[in-house]
Amino acid sequence: MKSREQEYREIFMAEALEYYNAMSRHISELERDPADSEALRELFRLMHNLKSNARAMGYNPIGEVAHHMETIFGLIRDKEKTFTGSVVPVLFSGIDTIGEMIRAVGENEELPAVNRLMDNLDRLVKGEEPNLEDEEQDDDEDVSRKLELSDLVYIQVRKLDHLMNLVGELIIDRDRILTLSKEIGNPALATAAAHLARIADELQYSVMDARLVGVGSLFSKFPRVVRDVATTEQKDVELTMTGEDIQIDRNILQIITDALLHLVRNAIGHGLETPAERVAAGKPAQGHLTLSAQAERDDVLVQVKDDGRGINVASVRRKAVERGLVSAQGAAGLNDDAVRAFLFEPGFSMAKEVTEISGRGVGLDVVKLAIDSLGGQLRVASVLGEGTTFTLVLPTSIAVKGALLFELENRNYAIPLMHTDSVVSLLPESFNVVGGLLMTRIQDENVPVVSLRRLLHNGDGPLSPAQKTDLTGRQDIIIVNYNNRRLGLIVDRFLRQQDIVVKPMSKPLDTIDLFGGVTLLGSGQVCLVLDVPALTRLFLAKRP
């Protein structure tokens, strides 16, 4: 906890010092050319940001000074004052004072007294002359003013991405060298390889760590969003946020931004009832929305929870049948979770009627796609009349994924563990053919099974009906799970479980979404990483 506070303070310091430097620059520009509206706008903006940051960190005296300074820059901007005469020295000394205060925070010292400055700023606002006596003696201080460089560096995410890619390649070479050193069997080489492996691991974690940011940096945008949406929708909403300290890769946060915005808007717009409806239903008039983050093993769970009207499973079930997504019989047999999963089907959620009936749904498929692209999972839980919870299961880091390697037609493939339920090895007796599809029972559930070879190399047409006679001997099957649908994939041979560094598919092949990317194995061989969501969709489109 202590260290996180320390980290926040360092970030505040770095930003504040940067603001201070920029302010010093802009005010000098303004002195040279009082009509420089660009510099003025910047000064106003910087003061405003500094004020917000300082107040958020509890450095209220800095916030107060910045607030007063902002007021005067605002007056100058609105042409109610000019940057001339006695205004100039007061504002200069104001910026100097801000610099001193920031430095004092950085060195854990007592903040300098600002009574005189505040008094002068007040006088300026009231249109009185400031008290500028003794101002000259500050000159000594100015000369001894320290030039400081920040302890933090800003770095473009692009550069971190590059670093991450390089580390990814280093990891691949590490595996290669480890493999080679085992083959060669030279003890000195083995020691060097082991050492290299340790350093490479540490480097990888350091780079991953450097990319982590608090979920709070995204959550902090939501109080405003909630307020605005609630006002438009005429709802009364109280927002609670927890777990802002949970760390996650910055790019993941970037990718889920729109998804989260979508879920929050949906929750307020469709999930929560109007105050009158709530009271009629015996609930408090004020709706409650919770944004939370928590770490669970290597994953981060982000939840959007409302206490609104919930999802009407019966009407979703009816709609799914009407839309031909499932037969009436099939729908009757589905459990509630499976029915709610239909909400994420493309097109399904676009239907206006569904939005009205279930109180859910514009573009949930878009949210789903964003989460899929990260190799994450989207879950929904809901109790009719009590509320809905969407859970985003996200990896902490994009680059490294646990994967299951297998062989198909003498080539290696990888499938992310995130979407893998289990692996089984079954004899042909364990299968039934139902409607041209192979089925097997796994944990008391009927799971369709398809030969991955046929699914991938079938050409464009639908799959031909499966025959039990196609199967000879033990079948290695990977059970994948996507959107509550389980599917068994027959592969040639399981290889092993391994952490892989997934590289995105290079252009122009990135339009083929059946593969989430590629990875290089220790042997140097290129290995395709299958995308389970796309594979499931392909199966649904091609099933006989």
Which residues of this protein are in contact with other proteins, per CB under 8 A? Answer: 169, 346, 365-366, 369, 411, 456-457, 460, 503, 505-509, 511-515, 518, 520, 524-528, 533-535, 537-538, 541-542
Contact predicate 57/9, CB 8 Å: yes
Please state the closest distance from residue 512 (CB atom) to other proteins, in A. Answer: 5
Token pair of 480 as six digits:
């994948």
Q: How far apart are CA 261 and CA 382, in angstroms?
A: 19
Nearer to other proteins, 434 or 512 (CB): 512
Nearer to other proteins, 127 or 461 (CB): 461
Nearer to other proteins, 38 or 169 (CB): 169
- Three-state SS string over 64-81 comes to HHHHHHHHHHHHHHCCCC
Please state the closest distance from residue 321 (CB atom) to other proteins, in A. Answer: 21
Nearer to other proteins, 116 or 485 (CB): 485
Amino acid at 535: L
Please state the closest distance from residue 158 (CB atom) to other proteins, in A. Answer: 15
Q: How many CB atoms lie within 10 A of CB 229?
A: 20
Residue 356 CA, distance from chain mean position: 29
Nearer to other proteins, 267 or 518 (CB): 518
Q: How many CB atoms lie within 10 A of CB 102?
A: 23
Nearer to other proteins, 362 or 433 (CB): 362
Q: Which of 260, 264, 267 is nearest to 310 (CA)?
A: 267
DSSP string for 6-50: HHHHHHHHHHHHHHHHHHHHHHHHHHH-TT-HHHHHHHHHHHHHH
- In sequence order, the β-bridge partners of residue 395 are 299
Please state the closest distance from residue 253 (CB atom) to other proteins, in A. Answer: 22
Please state the closest distance from residue 373 (CB atom) to other proteins, in A. Answer: 10
Token pair of 453 as six digits:
């070879």
Nearer to other proteins, 307 or 372 (CB): 372
Element (H, E) at 138: helix 138-144
Please state the closest distance from residue 491 (CB atom) to other proteins, in A. Answer: 13
Contact predicate 350/319, CB 8 Å: no
Helix and strand tally (H, E) in the chain? 19, 18
Nearer to other proteins, 137 or 511 (CB): 511
Please state the closest distance from residue 374 (CB atom) to other proteins, in A. Answer: 15
Please state the closest distance from residue 432 (CB atom) to other proteins, in A. Answer: 27
Please state the closest distance from residue 534 (CB atom) to other proteins, in A. Answer: 4
Nearer to other proteins, 229 or 528 (CB): 528
Nearer to other proteins, 362 or 366 (CB): 366
- Three-state SS string over 236-303 comes to CEEEEEECCCCEEEHHHHHHHHHHHHHHHHHHHHHHCCCHHHHHHCCCCCCEEEEEEEEEECCEEEEE
Q: Residue 46 burial (CB < 10 Å; 0-12/13-18/19+)?
A: buried
For 87, residues 6+ apart whose C-beta sits below 8 A from its C-beta are 72, 76, 81, 124
Please state the closest distance from residue 195 (CB atom) to other proteins, in A. Answer: 22
